[in-house]
């Protein structure tokens, strides 16, 4: 099978035109500027005398007035706080009565049942105070402590300068274990 050049010419011409159109120089392309066109559709051409409508009857103001009025009207009908203290350190007797009261909130009753008496808290606080005082005294002791001053000898040969002969018994200390530390 032989290919005739006349059959290849249309394919070659199409390929050359495709290459020519796809490779276009930078200078031949037309620049586009998106910011400068005449298609503004009349946006921003309103008159300068257009103002916003401001009043005290905006939705936020209306809702605030309704909320304040409802709060003032409902306040007298809300349940009042119990008189007296539910603290074990303020009044232990009222604290134990809170645990038995069925009208007090459930969390308050649970806390009243599970909280130790005021005596226990007083004992714990006293013990904690004692331990804190001891720790403070120890801290002061260690902060003020200083190492003893070391006296260095200038002439370390003074130990060996004396004659070992004619020494009366008990007049000298045994210095055989002595290790002299130079400065």
In a domain? residue 133: yes
Q: Does residue 121 sit in the same domain as residue 110?
A: no
Q: Write down the pLDDT at residue 146.
A: 87
Chain segment 124-178, per-residue pLDDT in tens: 999 999 999 999 999 999 999 888 888 877 877 776 677 777 778 877 777 778 7
In a domain? residue 142: yes
Q: Write down the pLDDT at residue 44.
A: 57
Name the domain count of the chain.
Answer: 2
In a domain? residue 74: no
Report residue 10's pLDDT band, with 50, 70 and 90 as the boundaries.
low
In a domain? residue 39: no
pLDDT at residue 64 greater than cutoff 90:
yes
- Selection from 92, 69, 95 nearest residue 82 by Cα: 95
Task: Give the residue, 149 or 25, on which the prediction is more confident.
Answer: 149
Q: Write down the pLDDT at residue 67.
A: 97
Q: Does residue 120 sit in the same domain as residue 106?
A: no
Read off the pTM: 0.32
Q: Does residue 110 sit in the same domain as residue 131?
A: no
Owning domain of residue 87: 83-115
In a domain? residue 136: yes
Final residue belonging to a domain, choices 72, 92, 115:
115
Contact 85, 91 (CB under 8 A): yes
DSSP for the chain reads ----HHHHHHHHHHHHHHHHHH---TTTSPP--SS--S--TTTT---TT------S-SHHHHHHHHHHHHHHHHGGGSPPPPSS---TTT-HHHHHHHHH-SSS-HHHHHHHHHSPPHHHHHHHHHHHHHHHHHHHHHHHHHHH--PPPP---S-GGGGG-S-SSSPPTTSS---TT------
In a domain? residue 11: no
pLDDT at residue 19 greater than cutoff 60:
no
pLDDT at residue 1 greater than cutoff 60:
no
């Amino acid at each position: 099978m032989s290919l005739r050049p006349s059959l290849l010419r249309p394919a070659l011409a199409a390929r050359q035109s495709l290459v020519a159109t796809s490779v276009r120089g930078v200078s031949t392309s037309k620049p586009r500027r998106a910011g400068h066109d005449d298609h503004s559709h009349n946006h921003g051409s309103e008159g300068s005398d257009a103002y916003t409508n401001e009043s005290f009857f905006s939705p936020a103001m209306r809702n605030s007035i309704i909320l304040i009025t409802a709060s003032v009207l409902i306040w007298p009908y809300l349940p009042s706080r119990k008189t007296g203290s539910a603290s074990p350190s303020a009044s232990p007797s009222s604290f134990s009565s809170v645990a038995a009261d069925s009208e007090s909130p459930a969390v308050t009753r649970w806390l009243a049942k599970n909280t130790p008496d005021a005596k226990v808290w007083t004992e714990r606080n006293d013990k904690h105070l004692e331990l804190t005082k001891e720790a403070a005294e120890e801290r002061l002791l260690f902060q003020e402590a200083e190492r003893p001053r070391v006296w260095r000898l200038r002439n370390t040969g003074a130990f060996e300068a004396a004659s070992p002969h004619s020494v009366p018994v008990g007049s000298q200390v045994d210095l055989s274990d002595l290790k002299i530390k130079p400065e």
